[in-house]
Every structure is written in C-alpha cells, then in structure tokens.
C-alpha cells in the first residue's frame, strides 16, 4: 500500500474542519466520531441480517403504534450506549423511545450537546434486502451546563442544528453529514473499517427529473396535490416531463438519490394522516438541514421545515423536499 495515501478518514476530515475555527473545542468532532462508530456496529449487524435470527418482527410496538423489528432495537441500543459513553453528550431522544434519555453522570452533565436520531429508518425494507438508514442531528443544549438536560433542549427549531447526517446501508455504506461548512459524504472502506471522504462538498442539483412519493395514496390527497402529481406525469418536451417515479419507502434511500441526482421527495398530509407520516425531529428536520446546506429546499408546503418550533418529541409534519426548482414548482401549485 502506498504510504502517501489520498484517503481522508472522517476523523481526519472533522479535525481538519474544526481547525478552521479558533474557538473550536473539538467536541462536535468527537460526537461525529462516536456516531460513526455506532453506525459501523449497526452496519455489521445489517449485513448479517439474512444470516442470523435477528430478522423479522420483534413483536413489540413502538410509540407510533408500529411493529418494531429486532434490528431497530439493536440499532437504538447501540446508539444509546455509544452516546452514553461519549465524552460530549448530555442526552438523547430517539424515534424508538417515548421520552428523552438523560445522561446524568458528572461528566455528561457538563456536556453541551444533545443528539436526536431515528436508529433504523425504512425498517420495512430489512427483510427484502433494500437500503435502510440511520438519521441523526446534534443540537447545542439551552439549559445550563452542570444540570440534567430537559425536553427544552430537544424541542428546538431545525435552524438551530449544529450538525445533521445520515448513514445509508446500501450497495456500499455511506455517511453523509452537514454542518454550516457544507455537506460531505464518506464511504465505508471495509478493509480498514473507516469512513473515507468520497463525496466532497455535495450540492443538490437545482433541477431534476425524478419525483418520489407513495403514489398509492393519491386518492387520499387533496385536489391540488392530485393536480401536482398529474403534472409530474404529463408529457411536456420543454419541461422534460413526464418525470420518472422512484419510491423505495425508505426516506434515507429516496433522499440520498434525490440529493445526488436531483428530484423531489414528498410525504404530504392526506385524509388518513392530517400531519403526514414523517417525524419532525428525527426525519424531517435533519434531512431538511442537509438538503438546505446542499442548496435545496425542505418545506411543509406552507413554511420552511427548519422554522417550525416543535411542541412534541414525536410530532409529524408534511414534507416537500429536494431540488430548489422542483420544490418551488410544487409549492406554487399547491398554494
Ligand atoms: P419505517 O421506518 O417504519 O419503515 O418508516 C419509513 C418511513 C420513511 O423512511 C419512508 O419514506 C416512509 O416511512 C414510507 O412510508 P409509506 O410506506 O407510507 O410510503
């Protein structure tokens, strides 16, 4: 192997970025390293899913009334345990837990960050070998250092995000994360067990040709949304329609494609789900932060996702997200 390697690991990259700020304490870099460690452990288990008796419904029902798979529980526990041992995490909120978990040992009480995550998104895809993912975001707490963190630290607007990211367990495993300095992607190099910089300074194309939605819900949508979907399917040479339709049912996978290739992803409100299906804190905020830092848009249809002041840990919101021009067109048609 050439010792003058060109590979840059995620740790080297976060350290390089933090050196650009004189006040940086390196705590955010440590948290990102810990999250990447947890995701490597999850990845190992995801890769074995077809081989061991860890596949299938676990029988328990999560706080949204959905059946949990064993891998969801595994991923949740790994993230909680790694972050509990982290030097810099005061507490977590997870899509799989009813309430926040406070880390109240003497060291964690002094930590200035809290982390929210969806440990394994798209879990209905596990037993068909399609891509699934982990989504996370990091906030600076608002309660005083030295005290236990509270719900107030988690119920912050998305525009207060310090860093957000996802890991996609797909044909290769990739971690993409965003800070105010931009969005970068790291592919897991299995031979050294490290995420290595592979997609530098990711920008979401301003336009695209793919729309991503559960089209089976069309009859439950309001007429304006139905017209928008009809517009996506219409033949128009000038606007290069009809668009292609792609929908895996795993937000991380559908949005990863949207960010890289351009497109729009939507999960609107419908007659069965007045606020849509996806969760503000664990899915919509982190994904909107990443997409906006890459130059795209994340909206509920009437306001930017990142401007919402959350009122509940498990709040749901409608979402229209992706390439700037495509989301703007959708918003114009449904307003
Ligand atoms: P889950 O983790 O329970 O499988 O939910 C996945 C989420 C999200 O990732 C995806 O975009 C959406 O739910 C799919 O929902 P529908 O099956 O209703 O389309």
Q: What is the mean pLDDT of the chain?
A: 92
Are 222 and 179 within one domain? no
Are 155 and 224 within one domain? no
The confidence band for 21, taking pLDDT boundaries of 50, 70 and 90, is: confident
Residue 116 placed within a domain: yes
Calculate how far, in angstroms, residue 310's C-alpha sits from the geometric centre of ligand 1: 21
Calculate how far, in angstroms, residue 87's C-alpha sits from the geometric centre of ligand 1: 33
- Of 178, 199, 220, the residue at which a domain comes to its end is 199
Determine the residue of 135, 267, 269 to mutate for testing ligand 1's pocket, defined as the one with the most ligand atoms within 8 A of the Cβ atom: 267
Residue 124, ligand 1, Cβ within 6 A: yes
Query: What pLDDT is stored for residue 128 in this prediction?
Result: 85
Region 138-153 average pLDDT: 97
Residue 249, ligand 1, Cβ within 6 A: yes
- Tens-place pLDDT, residues 53-91: 554 555 556 566 665 558 889 999 999 999 999 988 999
Residue 3 placed within a domain: no
Exposure b/e, 41-55, CB count within 10 A at least 16 = b: ebbebbeebeeeebe
Q: Domain holding 317: CATH number?
A: 3.40.190.80
Domains of the chain: total: 2
Q: What is the pTM of this model?
A: 0.93
Residue 41 placed within a domain: yes
The confidence band for 239, taking pLDDT boundaries of 50, 70 and 90, is: confident
The C-alpha angle 75, 193, 290, rounded to 5 degrees, equals 60
Query: What pLDDT is stored for residue 65 in this prediction?
Result: 66
Which atom of ligand 1 lies nearest, measured to the CA of 265? 11
Calculate how far, in angstroms, residue 1's C-alpha sits from the geometric centre of ligand 1: 42
Calculate how far, in angstroms, residue 281's C-alpha sits from the geometric centre of ligand 1: 15
Are 269 and 312 within one domain? yes
Asked if residue 163 has pLDDT above 60, the reply is yes
Residue 56, ligand 1, Cβ within 6 A: no
Q: Whose CA is nearest to atom 11 of ligand 1?
A: 251
Query: From its phi and psi, is residue 295 left (phi > 0), alpha (psi between -120 and 50) or beta?
Result: left
Residue 190, ligand 1, Cβ within 6 A: no
Query: What pLDDT is stored for residue 127 in this prediction?
Result: 79
Are 162 and 285 within one domain? no
Are 145 and 61 within one domain? yes
Residue 66, ligand 1, Cβ within 6 A: yes
Residue 250, ligand 1, Cβ within 6 A: yes
Query: What pLDDT is stored for residue 1 in this prediction?
Result: 52
Query: What pLDDT is stored for residue 138 in this prediction?
Result: 97
Q: Domain holding 162: CATH number?
A: 3.30.540.10
Residue 4 placed within a domain: no
- Tens-place pLDDT, residues 81-115: 999 999 889 999 999 999 999 999 999 999 999 99
With helix as H, strand as E and coil as C, how does the chain read?
A: CCCCCCCCEHHHHHHHHHCCCCCCCCHHHHHHHHHHHHHHHHHHHHHCCCCCCCCCEEEEECCCCCEEEHHHHHHHHHHHHHHHCCCCCCEEEECCCCCCEECCCHHHHCCCEEEEEEEEECHHHHHHCCCEEEEEEEEECCCCCCCCCCHHHHCCCHHHCCEEEEEEECCCEEEEEEECCEEEEEEEECCCCEEEEEECCCCCCCCCCEEECCHHHHHHCCHHHHHHHHHHHCCECCCCECCEECCCCCHHHHHHHHHHHCCEEEECCCCCCECECCEHHHHHHHHHHHHHHCCCEEECCCCEHHHCCCCCCCCECCEEEECHHHHHHHHHHHC
Residue 256, ligand 1, Cβ within 6 A: no
- Of 199, 230, 245, the residue at which a domain comes to its end is 199
Calculate how far, in angstroms, residue 11's C-alpha sits from the geometric centre of ligand 1: 31
Query: What pLDDT is stored for residue 261 in this prediction?
Result: 97
Which atom of ligand 1 lies nearest, measured to the CA of 120? 2
Are 107 and 155 within one domain? yes
Residue 257 placed within a domain: yes
Region 10-21 average pLDDT: 86
The confidence band for 124, taking pLDDT boundaries of 50, 70 and 90, is: confident
Are 305 and 159 within one domain? no
Query: What pLDDT is stored for residue 52 in this prediction?
Result: 54
> Which domain, by its residues, includes 156?
10-199
- Tens-place pLDDT, residues 181-238: 999 999 999 999 999 999 999 999 999 999 999 999 999 999 999 999 999 999 988 8
The confidence band for 240, taking pLDDT boundaries of 50, 70 and 90, is: confident
Residue 205 placed within a domain: no
Are 155 and 272 within one domain? no
């Amino acid at each position: 192997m050439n010792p003058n390697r060109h590979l840059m690991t995620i740790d080297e990259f976060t350290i390089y970025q933090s050196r650009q700020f004189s006040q940086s304490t390196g705590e955010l870099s440590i948290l990102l390293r810990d999250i990447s460690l947890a995701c490597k452990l999850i990845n190992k288990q995801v890769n074995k899913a077809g081989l061991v008796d860890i596949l299938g419904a676990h029988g328990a029902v999560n706080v949204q009334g959905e059946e949990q798979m064993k891998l969801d529980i595994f991923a949740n526990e790994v993230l909680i345990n790694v972050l509990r041992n982290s030097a810099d995490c005061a507490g977590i909120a997870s899509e799989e837990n009813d309430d926040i978990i406070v880390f109240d040992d003497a060291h964690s009480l002094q930590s200035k960050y809290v982390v929210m995550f969806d440990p394994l998104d798209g879990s209905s895809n596990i037993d068909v070998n399609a891509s699934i993912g982990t989504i996370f975001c990091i906030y600076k707490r608002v309660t005083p250092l030295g005290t236990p963190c509270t719900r107030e630290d988690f119920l912050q607007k998305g525009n207060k995000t310090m860093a957000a990211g996802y890991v996609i367990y797909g044909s290769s495993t990739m971690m993409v994360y965003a800070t105010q300095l931009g969005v970068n992607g790291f592919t897991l190099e299995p031979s050294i067990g490290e995420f290595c910089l592979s997609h530098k300074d990711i920008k979401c194309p301003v336009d695209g040709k793919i729309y991503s939605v559960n089209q089976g819900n069309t009859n439950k949508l309001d007429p304006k949304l139905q017209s928008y979907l009809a517009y996506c399917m219409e033949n128009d040479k000038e606007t290069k329609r009809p668009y292609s339709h792609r929908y895996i049912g795993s937000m991380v996978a559908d949005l990863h494609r949207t960010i890289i290739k351009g497109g729009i992803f939507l999960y609107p409100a419908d007659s069965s789900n007045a606020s849509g299906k996806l969760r503000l804190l664990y899915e919509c905020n982190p994904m909107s932060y990443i997409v906006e830092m890459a130059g795209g848009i994340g909206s509920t249809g009437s306001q930017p996702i990142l401007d919402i002041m959350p009122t509940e840990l498990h709040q749901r919101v409608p979402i229209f997200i992706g390439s700037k021009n495509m989301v703007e067109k959708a918003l114009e048609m449904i307003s």
